[in-house]
């Protein structure tokens, strides 16, 4: 990484073209001040985005490029990933549109790996129409976990509220079987590392929610909290990580208890995301922690019901761009600080 904080190149995968993704992308960069912070590159086609632009009142100007070395700093760039026209029918689930969503995402990921872009922000996809012989992943995170170094972890972020997941897209009846000591240790370590290098928190405090109602009530409502979570968390705490819990999930957010911690770890998807989305008021960001590259996404889906109607709220996407920039800078700073002790030692030798 180690790149200067100015002129950060933000690669953007266009998502499902029949949804609200392209609308929130363009609305985000209506504000020219965004271009003082970064240079966006949308992986799509300039003609298609011109069509989308006509569906709502927009003054945004973009510049089409056929190669990534033609990117113009301080402008909205559209990398013409394909030449052919695409039939867009807002609000429609279309397998062909799913193919273009994945084409955009795969190309943007490749550019990220090759350092042609600095960070990646992904617009929403439809998890059903993206499936094919070439792409058999539930979503963005699983593919990134395969393509990039590290261990991917879904973390939802809104200001100082950060919610990580021990299990993400796992059916509820399978969650308990996934909660092994190895998984819990790895996920907590990933979150701790992310809080330090991505959010500049020197000694992070992490809270973990229990699996069962009231953490099992001493085994009356399930034994996983007593037999699995508590012993593992104690072992992690004794090794020097400030991890606390498990806490009963039902009152943890409503009581404001989450404000005492730098991150909250939920045992399963809805346990963490329902309170997060209730508290974040449409400004939440989905961050893929634990990887060697930065990827963020808005916390909403394709929005078929409002697509093409100039009704989409772009704030979550805008926050996703801001967070990607903040994390990129924080990682650069962390790397510089980490390298200095080595240089001092070399001089002493």
Residue 143 belongs to domain with CATH number? 3.40.718.10
Would you say residue 345 lies in a domain?
no
Does one domain contain both 266 and 297?
A: no
Q: How far is CA 3 from CA 9, 108, 115, 230, in A?
A: 11, 19, 11, 42
- Identify the pLDDT of residue 55: 85
Would you say residue 346 lies in a domain?
no
Would you say residue 310 lies in a domain?
yes
Does one domain contain both 146 and 167?
A: no
Does one domain contain both 132 and 185?
A: no
Would you say residue 84 lies in a domain?
yes
Counted domains in the chain:
2
Does one domain contain both 126 and 186?
A: no
CB 168 within 8 A of CB 269: yes
Does one domain contain both 225 and 277?
A: yes
Does one domain contain both 136 and 201?
A: no
Show which of 236, 259, 282 is a domain's final residue: 282
Which residues are registered as beta bridge partners of 38? Answer: 8
Would you say residue 320 lies in a domain?
yes
Would you say residue 307 lies in a domain?
yes
Dihedral Cα 75, 76, 77, 78, nearest 10 deg: -160
Does one domain contain both 184 and 146?
A: no
The upper half-sphere exposure of residue 3, i.e. CA atoms within 13 Å in the direction of its Cβ, equals 15
Does one domain contain both 113 and 192?
A: no
Does one domain contain both 131 and 165?
A: no
Does one domain contain both 52 and 139?
A: yes
Rounded CA-CA distance 7/324 in Å is 13
Domain extent at residue 130: 1-150+291-336
- Identify the pLDDT of residue 342: 52
Does one domain contain both 141 and 190?
A: no
Would you say residue 3 lies in a domain?
yes
Would you say residue 344 lies in a domain?
no
CB within 8 Å of 95: residues ≥ 6 apart: 129
- Identify the pLDDT of residue 345: 45
CB 223 within 8 A of CB 210: no
Does one domain contain both 241 and 325?
A: no
For every one of its 349 residues, what pLDDT tens digit does the chain have, with 9 covering 90 and above?
A: 445 556 899 999 999 999 999 999 999 999 989 999 999 999 999 999 999 998 888 889 999 999 999 999 999 999 999 999 899 999 999 999 999 999 999 999 999 999 999 999 999 999 888 887 777 777 788 889 999 999 999 999 999 999 999 998 889 999 999 999 999 999 999 999 999 999 999 999 999 999 999 998 888 999 999 999 999 999 999 999 999 999 999 999 999 999 999 999 999 999 999 999 999 988 999 999 999 999 999 999 999 999 999 999 999 999 999 999 999 999 999 988 877 655 544 444 4
Rounded CA-CA distance 202/268 in Å is 27
Rounded CA-CA distance 99/104 in Å is 9
């Amino acid at each position: 990484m180690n790149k200067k904080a100015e002129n950060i190149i933000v690669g953007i995968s266009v998502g499902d073209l029949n949804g609200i993704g392209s609308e929130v992308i363009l609305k985000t960069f209506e504000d020219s001040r965004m271009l003082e912070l970064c240079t966006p590159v949308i992986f799509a086609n300039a003609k298609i985005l011109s069509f989308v632009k006509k569906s709502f009142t927009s003054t945004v100007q973009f510049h089409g490029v056929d190669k990534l070395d033609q990117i113009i700093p301080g402008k909205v760039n559209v990398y013409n990933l394909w030449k052919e026209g695409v039939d867009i029918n807002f609000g429609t689930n279309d397998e062909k549109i799913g193919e273009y969503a994945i084409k955009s995402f795969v190309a943007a990921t490749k550019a990220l790996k090759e350092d042609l872009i600095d960070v990646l922000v992904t617009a929403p996809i439809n998890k059903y129409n993206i499936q094919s012989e070439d792409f058999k992943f539930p979503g963005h995170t699983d593919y990134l976990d395969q393509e990039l170094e590290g261990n991917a972890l879904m973390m939802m972020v809104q200001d100082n509220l950060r919610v990580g997941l021990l299990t993400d897209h796992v059916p509820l009846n399978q969650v308990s079987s996934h909660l092994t000591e190895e998984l819990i240790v790895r996920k907590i370590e990933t979150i701790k590392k992310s809080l330090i290098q991505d959010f500049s928190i020197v000694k992070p405090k992490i809270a973990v929610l229990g699996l069962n109602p009231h953490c099992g009530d001493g085994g009356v409502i399930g034994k996983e909290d007593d037999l699995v979570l508590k012993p593992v968390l104690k072992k992690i705490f004794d090794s020097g990580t400030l991890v606390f819990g498990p806490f009963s999930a039902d009152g943890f957010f409503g009581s404001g208890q989450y404000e005492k911690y730098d991150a909250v770890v939920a045992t399963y998807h809805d346990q963490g995301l329902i309170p997060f989305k209730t508290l974040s008021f449409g400004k939440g960001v989905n961050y893929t922690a634990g990887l060697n590259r930065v990827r963020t996404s808005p916390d909403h889906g394709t929005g078929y019901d409002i697509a093409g109607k100039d009704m989409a709220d772009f704030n979550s996407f805008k926050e996703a761009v801001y967070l990607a920039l903040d994390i990129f800078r924080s990682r650069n700073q962390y790397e510089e600080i980490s390298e200095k002790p080595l240089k001092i030692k070399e001089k002493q030798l």
